[in-house]
């Protein structure tokens, strides 16, 4: 028996899943090469931080604006097709950016349109990516499949920045951007060669597409589980993003140093990887809402203790507790939604959740900046940790979340829905 059958519980024995993991890993390595190369390319010229901020804003706005469209298109045409198209377009855009980098100092007129294309590609890709695993794996293997997929992304997140840094340091931004373009091409080639075990979108002959089945409006109006998950995602990401992007660097700048801050960010990535590994090895939980809540309490405690745990080592331990619990929790909630949502609506449902997760970024960092300015960075951590714990505690008061069992679907005989 091959090692992946025992360790992975089955997903890695599926050839299509193994190909997908390879493609995701390569794409994530390329993304981080891009994340290093772009700032050095822009800041190396005369544009400075103003140009960099404008380019990033173009990317972010296009990404948020196209997430709902990505869900709609994935449900209509299939997630694999949308992912394939998004990767092909992004490969061309990054290739053009590499050419701009090689020819001289870039201008806003050159960078902004490419940033919009890349952001739009990411927005289309994200919700579509959550529809593919259910087409590759049986339901009982979906949780471990999500965990292993997440681990591939996190490994890429650990290796990618180092590779990008070396390439930029030795040869400038152009080779790092070329690596990113090639990674998109590799991901597209993998998607082109995938043959899902079942259709990644329903056809007219499948029960999910029958006229009397629930529609997207039904899920939005009556799907109490989705309501609870979206509120939790919204509030928790408001608390987490402001903490990591504003409070943590401000606290580290005043109490630790740049090297320790870099170590804490590395711990954050490694902890998330460990959380995904635990999820991959863990047995399927029959009541995932309760596990989700337990992990949220651990996240809140870990986050609250960061500035009060006795310096860099204690802060690292607290961040490790937070990130391990967070990595595991992400797998729990994604699997919960993938099994609960009717297949033909999964792209649109996940696009709503992605909007709740990514759309809070500007609000979170702006609010955190004002609060940290008034009360200082250290008190912000327990406030954020308590917010996360209380939000999930309130979620447990909702029967649809608390009593949800693995495998229940919206509109099924045991599904709890909101009252009209």
Nearest-angstrom CA–CA distance, 191 and 86: 11
Q: Which long-range contacts (CB under 8 A, 24 or more apart) does 281-288 make?
A: 281/7, 281/9, 282/143, 282/328, 284/140, 284/143, 284/406, 285/332, 285/406, 286/405, 286/406, 287/402, 287/403, 287/404, 287/405, 287/406, 288/332, 288/333, 288/335, 288/336, 288/404, 288/406
DSSP classification of residue 411: T
Spatial contact of 156 and 32, defined as CB atoms under 8 Å apart:
yes
Model confidence band, residue 121 (pLDDT cutoffs 50, 70, 90): very high
Spatial contact of 130 and 334, defined as CB atoms under 8 Å apart:
yes
Residue 248: predicted pLDDT: 81
Residue 188: predicted pLDDT: 93
Model confidence band, residue 193 (pLDDT cutoffs 50, 70, 90): confident
Nearest-angstrom CA–CA distance, 383 and 303: 9
- How many other CB atoms are there within 10 angstroms of residue 311's CB atom? 11
51-73: average pLDDT: 86
Instruction: Say whether domain 3-197 belongs to CATH 1.20.1250.20.
Output: yes
DSSP output for 382-398: HHHHHHHHHHHHHHTTS
Residue 85: predicted pLDDT: 94
Q: Which two tokens stand for residue 214?
A: 């629930």
Nearest-angstrom CA–CA distance, 280 and 275: 9
Residue 382: predicted pLDDT: 92
Whether residue 189 is predicted with pLDDT greater than 60 in this model: the reply is yes
CB contact set of 109 (below 8 Å; sequence gap of 6+): none
Higher-confidence position of 394 and 9: 394
- C-alpha distance from residue 341 to each of 280, 346, 415 (Å): 22, 6, 11
DSSP output for 241-296: HHIIIIIHHHHHHHHS-HHHHHHHHHHHHHHHHHHHHHHHHSPPPS-HHHHHHHHH
Q: Which residue has the tokens 């855009």?
A: 93
Same topology, domains 3-197 and 216-402? Answer is yes
Q: Which two tokens stand for residue 216?
A: 């997207």
By mean pLDDT, which of 43-52, 76-85, 301-310 is the weakest? 43-52
Whether residue 201 is predicted with pLDDT greater than 70 in this model: the reply is no
Spatial contact of 225 and 400, defined as CB atoms under 8 Å apart:
yes
DSSP classification of residue 307: G
216-402: CATH class: mainly alpha
Spatial contact of 121 and 146, defined as CB atoms under 8 Å apart:
no
318-340: average pLDDT: 88
Q: Which of 140-149, 211-220, 236-245, 323-332 has the highest mean pLDDT?
A: 323-332
**Mean of the per-residue pLDDT values of the chain:** 81
Q: What percent of the chain has pLDDT over 70?
A: 89
- How many other CB atoms are there within 10 angstroms of residue 379's CB atom? 15
- Residue extents of the structural domains in the chain: 3-197, 216-402
Model confidence band, residue 206 (pLDDT cutoffs 50, 70, 90): very low
Instruction: Give SS3 for 199.
Output: coil
Nearest-angstrom CA–CA distance, 8 and 291: 21
At 312, phi and psi to the nearest 5? -65, -40
Whether residue 152 is predicted with pLDDT greater than 80 in this model: the reply is yes
Buried-exposed string 61-100: b where 16+ CB fall within 10 A, e elsewhere: bbbbebbbbbbbbbbeebbbbbbbbbbbbbbebbbbbbeb
Q: C-alpha angle with apex 279: 275 to 282, nearest 5 degrees?
A: 135
200-222: average pLDDT: 60
350-359: average pLDDT: 80
- C-alpha distance from residue 76 to each of 127, 199, 213, 293 (Å): 13, 12, 16, 34
Q: What is the pTM of this model?
A: 0.74
Nearest-angstrom CA–CA distance, 251 and 311: 11
DSSP output for 84-113: HHHHHHHHHHHHHHHHHHHHS---HHHHHH
Residue 261: predicted pLDDT: 75
Residue 314: predicted pLDDT: 92
Nearest-angstrom CA–CA distance, 70 and 358: 14
Model confidence band, residue 199 (pLDDT cutoffs 50, 70, 90): low
């Amino acid at each position: 028996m091959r090692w992946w059958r025992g360790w992975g519980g089955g997903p890695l024995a599926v050839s299509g899943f193994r190909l997908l993991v390879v493609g995701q890993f390569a794409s994530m390595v390329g993304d981080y090469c891009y994340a290093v190369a772009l700032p050095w390319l822009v800041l190396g010229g005369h544009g400075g931080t103003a140009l960099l901020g404008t380019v990033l804003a173009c990317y972010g706005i296009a990404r948020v604006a196209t997430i709902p469209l990505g869900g709609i298109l994935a449900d209509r045409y299939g997630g694999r097709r949308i992912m394939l198209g998004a990767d092909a377009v992004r490969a061309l855009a990054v290739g053009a950016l590499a050419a701009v980098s090689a020819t001289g100092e870039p201008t806003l007129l050159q960078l902004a349109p490419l940033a919009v294309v890349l952001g739009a590609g990411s927005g289309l890709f994200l919700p579509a990516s959550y529809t593919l695993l259910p087409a590759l794996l049986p339901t009982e293997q979906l949780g471990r499949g999500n965990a292993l997929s997440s681990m591939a992304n996190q490994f890429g997140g650990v290796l990618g920045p180092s590779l990008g840094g070396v390439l930029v340091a030795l040869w400038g931004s152009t080779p790092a951007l070329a690596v990113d373009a090639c990674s998109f091409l590799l991901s597209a080639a993998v998607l082109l060669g995938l043959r899902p075990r079942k259709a990644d979108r329903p056809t007219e002959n499948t029960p999910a597409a029958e006229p009397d089945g629930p529609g997207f409006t039904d899920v939005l109006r009556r799907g109490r589980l989705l309501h609870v998950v979206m509120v939790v995602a919204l509030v928790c990401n408001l608390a987490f993003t402001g903490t990591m992007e504003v409070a943590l660097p401000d606290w580290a700048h005043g109490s630790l140093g740049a090297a320790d801050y870099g170590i804490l960010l590395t711990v954050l990535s490694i902890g998330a990887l460990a959380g995904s590994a635990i999820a991959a090895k863990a047995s399927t939980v029959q009541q995932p809402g309760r596990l989700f809540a337990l992990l949220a309490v651990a996240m809140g405690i870990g986050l609250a203790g960061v500035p009060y745990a006795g310096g860099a080592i204690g802060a690292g331990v607290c961040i490790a507790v937070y990130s391990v619990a967070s990595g595991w929790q992400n797998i729990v909630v994604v699997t919960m939604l993938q099994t609960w949502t009717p297949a033909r609506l999964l792209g649109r449902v996940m696009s709503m959740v992605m909007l709740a997760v990514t759309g809070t970024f500007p609000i979170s960092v702006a609010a955190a900046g004002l609060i940290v300015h008034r009360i200082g960075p250290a008190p912000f951590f327990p406030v954020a940790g308590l917010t996360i714990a209380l939000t999930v505690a309130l979620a447990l008061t909702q029967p649809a979340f608390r009593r949800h069992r693995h495998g229940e679907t919206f509109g099924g005989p045991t599904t709890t829905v909101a009252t009209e």
